[in-house]
Structure 1
Amino acid sequence: MKTLTDWLAHLESLHPKGQSGIELGLERVARVKAVLRQQQTCPVIIVGGTNGKGSTCAYLEIIYRLSGYRVGCYSSPHLLKYNERVRVNGQPATDEMLCSAFARVEAARHEAGNIALTYFEFGTLAAWEVFAAEKAEVVILEVGLGGRLDAVNVYEPDCAVVTGVALDHTDWLGATREAIGFEKAGIFRSGRRAICADPEPPQSLLDYAEAIDADLKLIGRDFGFARAGQGWSYRDGDGRKFDGLPEPALRGECQLRNASAVITVLESLGDQLPVSLEAVRRGLHEVSLPGRFQIVGERPAVILDVAHNPEAVAELAQNLRTMGAFRRTIAVVAMLADKDIAGALAALSGNVDVWLVAGLNVPRGAPETTLANAVTELGGSVEEFASPAEAFRRAVGLAGENDRIAVFGSFHTVAAVINALNTPV
């Protein structure tokens, strides 16, 4: 009998591009889905966008759980264990759940003509199998890449959210916000609620929503937020207003945009999935998401952030500026080669005193010299390391109790440091 490790190795071997392989398109996954006879028996929410997808899914997941629903949530990538990608009622799926689902997908794949699914496609179909077996009452699906041709888009959302549109994955989605906006908008459906939390949405997104007659709600026009004292208030275009909401437990100005979009989802599906204002308040206060400006140490402070594109790193920089006074900021960074490395590091220029850059020994990983060259172009001093763990150990050795260490650049980077934190230095 195959273990989860066996199955994941099998998934990597199925497609020529392996775990990191990207081959957009819905035909393969749709054919296997048809053999599986997967049926949608509960509301489905699809969440896309360049940044903020994970936060938005986390808010929806906890608020619906606190409202008494059985919630299935699929997100990617994972930090430490694959099980994190498939959650039922906030808990990662067990190895047994996943292995059983993988076996069913494998049988269907063969029946459909031995289709070479990608790692993500196989995992998406298996996640649905888990949710169906566990009788989920609402399913939240996070887009892996883009939207229009992403595997999760083979399902039909009752509500779709685009958190924002920025330049990332340009090799696959296009080099402009207009091109990327069109791909993100592909998760919208005719006659169904579509929500966009980008304050300046690309015209391509607006045009697509109009062309298919989606019920589009835009932040700043149809819903929004305002700070009020120690909290904030939400309002929508129909006159609904919720005052005295707590600051989200996740940090950053973008979180009020994400939370506002979430409340708009909750209102949109209120007839099918009613929730209480108390569940919203508790969810905002209790939500957690590893690796999103996560502070894991004091004296020195250690901040973990998976930010890996210029927009997300700019948000990290803003959070660091509002964090308080520190003697020095030491950055530990490693990134994938297909990211805008120069743009991302430039977003932190002036906020870092010591740069410790590392290579990533994973497919698409950038060598440390690439990052070092980008830092040198910014005029910063830099040290190079073969791995994030080595860079982090150096940071710990350098940092005084009034310093802080900011770890960022990739899920791989944060995962490596989490593992290092659990290992005696």
Structure 2
Amino acid sequence: MSINEAISFLDSLGQFRIKLSLDRINKLTNIFGNPQNFFKSIHVGGTNGKGSVCNFLSKILQYSGYKVGLYTSPHLMDIRERVKINDNLIGEKEFLSLLNIIKERFSNFKEDTPTYFEVLTCLAFLYFKNSGIDFGVIEVGLGGRFDATNVIIPEISIITSISHDHTEYLGKKIEEIAFEKGGIIKKGVPVCFGGKSPTAWKVIKKIANEKGCEAFWLYDKKISFKRIISGGKKGFQIKTLKDDYEVFPSVNGLFQGENIAISIMASEILRERGFNIRKDAILKGIENASIEGRMEILDGKPKIILDGAHNLDAIKKLLISLEEIGIPSFVLLYASMKDKDIENISKILFPKAEKIVLTKVEEIRGEEPENIVKRASLKRDFIIERNFGKALEKAISLSSTSFPLLVTGSLYLVGAFKRSYKR
């Protein structure tokens, strides 16, 4: 099997096929002796910020001397980005070998075969077990309660934030979404919650109480964080009950303060549980973490900002962060999946744009540019170009020093940009 054949096989399972059940992943991991039980793990869920928190924690653990597996989704350019050990992608040979091994066991499933995400989740667990990692930092794919990653028993569970997204699966009320995401909370395992919503916190706290575990809330006034500037560098001051931190991350975005604070909170809890996580490792981990596609700035002419924000809360945080660095307006290259809240996103995003170029990057789930116009209900000119290469070329030609290019609306759009763009 070649890498292209592997991708074709996985695509045949339906990349966006979602079947809310743990039955298949439990059966699949059982076949292989439950590889997820052979290493310590951290489970990270939430609506926004979970990818950033995973990267911060992976780096913190590495600087603490641990061998760390990192499982995240989606990928931007290479499917192997989803499975890393100490920042190194799984090798192509190992990826293909493990995928073949898993595929050979499909006869055990008859008609109800595992999904794309379930196969990759099992593959990651097998790779981590075979490689002898100390810690696996595992990002939830969707929701939590029925997510394929929810077969692990972690050292700590983290729920970064809770807002509206994937409402067709998780519910339309914050209480319903919090219940689904709170499904990763395990008996006796501490949980950290980083969202601002008291309504969501009430649900998280109730689940934690029922399962006999400690629950920690970023906004209960025991931890504070604020923006600081020192020597021309932007950073954050984080104060916990145990220590003070001044960190200067290499990643951009005012919204990262919340993600950094919850990463520090989790690190301190892990230290209390006996793990060797030093303050200097926390500082180095945060300062050296790199997170592609989240407020990623490409300097040049024109300046280009890449951000995979795809729900209302993430777009709000992106716009605040752009204002902070002196970008109140921009040329916008936008694409979205059909299931996103385009109606409300467009109300706050589109008026900020000097020009708007609409395109499509995902054939099955991607919304048609013409439908984006209808759903936006704004009386203004849009440039529609379904061909992504031509859309990008047009957006760049419209950009300038005064109006840099913002590429946002979907991580799949960011991925398409990275595959196509050559400075």
TM-score (norm 1): 0.92
Residue number in structure 2 paired with 1:235: 239
After superposition, the Cα gap between the structure-2 partners of 1:381 and 1:126, relative to the gap in structure 1 and judged at 3 Å, is same
Residue number in structure 2 paired with 1:65: 62
Residue number in structure 2 paired with 1:296: 298
After superposition, the Cα gap between the structure-2 partners of 1:386 and 1:65, relative to the gap in structure 1 and judged at 3 Å, is same
**1:316-331 alignment, distance < 5 Å:** 316-324=318-326, 329-331=330-332
Residue number in structure 1 paired with 2:99: 102
Note if contact 1:191-1:213 (Cα within 8 Å) is conserved in structure 2.
Answer: yes
Deviates more, 1:157-166 or 1:109-118: 109-118
Residue number in structure 2 paired with 1:419: 419
Q: Which amino acid aligns with 1:258?
A: N
Note if contact 1:372-1:384 (Cα within 8 Å) is conserved in structure 2.
Answer: no
Q: Please give the secondary structure, in 2, of the residue aligned with 1:186.
A: helix
Q: Please give the secondary structure, in 1, of the residue aligned with 2:53.
A: helix
Q: Does structure 1 residue 8 correspond to structure 2 residue 12?
A: no
Note if contact 2:42-2:136 (Cα within 8 Å) is conserved in structure 1.
Answer: yes
Q: Which of 161, 165, 174 is the matching residue for 1:164?
A: 161
Note if contact 1:225-1:257 (Cα within 8 Å) is conserved in structure 2.
Answer: no
Q: 1:211 & 1:253 partners in 2: Cα distance?
A: 35
Aligned-residue identity in percent: 27
**1:135-214 alignment, distance < 5 Å:** 135-201=132-198, 202=200, 203-214=202-213
Residue number in structure 2 paired with 1:260: 261
For the aligned residue pairs, the C-alpha RMSD in angstroms reads 1.9
Q: 1:228 & 1:120 partners in 2: Cα distance?
A: 37
Q: 2:353 & 2:120 partners in 1: Cα distance?
A: 38
Residue number in structure 2 paired with 1:25: 21
**1:330-341 alignment, distance < 5 Å:** 330-341=331-342
Runs of 4+ aligned structure 1 residues displaced above 6 Å come to none
Gaps of 5+ in 2: 230-234
Q: Which amino acid aligns with 1:166?
A: S
Q: 1:68 & 1:409 partners in 2: Cα distance?
A: 37
Note if contact 2:56-2:263 (Cα within 8 Å) is conserved in structure 1.
Answer: yes
Note if contact 1:30-1:154 (Cα within 8 Å) is conserved in structure 2.
Answer: yes
After superposition, the Cα gap between the structure-2 partners of 1:390 and 1:108, relative to the gap in structure 1 and judged at 3 Å, is same
- Post-superposition Cα deviations, 1:80-111, rounded to whole Å, max 9, x if no partner, equal 01000000110111111111221232234434
Q: Which amino acid aligns with 2:137?
A: I
Note if contact 1:67-1:279 (Cα within 8 Å) is conserved in structure 2.
Answer: yes
Note if contact 2:225-2:258 (Cα within 8 Å) is conserved in structure 1.
Answer: no
Residue number in structure 2 paired with 1:35: 31
- Post-superposition Cα deviations, 1:387-424, rounded to whole Å, max 9, x if no partner, equal 333222101112223320000011221112222213x7
Q: Does structure 1 residue 381 correspond to structure 2 residue 381?
A: yes
Residue number in structure 2 paired with 1:218: 217
Shift of 1:272: 4.1
TM-score (norm 2): 0.93
Q: Please give the secondary structure, in 2, of the residue aligned with 1:199.
A: coil
Note if contact 2:43-2:139 (Cα within 8 Å) is conserved in structure 1.
Answer: yes
Q: Which amino acid aligns with 1:195?
A: C
Note if contact 2:68-2:135 (Cα within 8 Å) is conserved in structure 1.
Answer: yes
- Post-superposition Cα deviations, 1:153-194, rounded to whole Å, max 9, x if no partner, equal 011111110000010001111111111000000001111110
Q: Please give the secondary structure, in 2, of the residue aligned with 1:57.
A: helix
Shift of 1:248: 2.7
- Post-superposition Cα deviations, 1:117-156, rounded to whole Å, max 9, x if no partner, equal 0000010000001111111110011000000000000111
Q: 1:80 & 1:103 partners in 2: Cα distance?
A: 22
* Aligned pairs, number: 414
After superposition, the Cα gap between the structure-2 partners of 1:267 and 1:331, relative to the gap in structure 1 and judged at 3 Å, is same
Shift of 1:223: 4.2
Q: Which amino acid aligns with 1:333?
A: Y
Residue number in structure 1 paired with 2:278: 276
Q: 1:223 & 1:257 partners in 2: Cα distance?
A: 14
Q: 1:240 & 1:388 partners in 2: Cα distance?
A: 50
Q: 1:103 & 1:38 partners in 2: Cα distance?
A: 18
Note if contact 1:51-1:163 (Cα within 8 Å) is conserved in structure 2.
Answer: yes
Gaps of 5+ in 1: none
Q: Please give the secondary structure, in 2, of the residue aligned with 1:350.
A: helix
Q: Which amino acid aligns with 2:337?
A: L
After superposition, the Cα gap between the structure-2 partners of 1:112 and 1:23, relative to the gap in structure 1 and judged at 3 Å, is closer
Shift of 1:222: 6.7
Shift of 1:112: 5.7
Note if contact 1:217-1:223 (Cα within 8 Å) is conserved in structure 2.
Answer: no
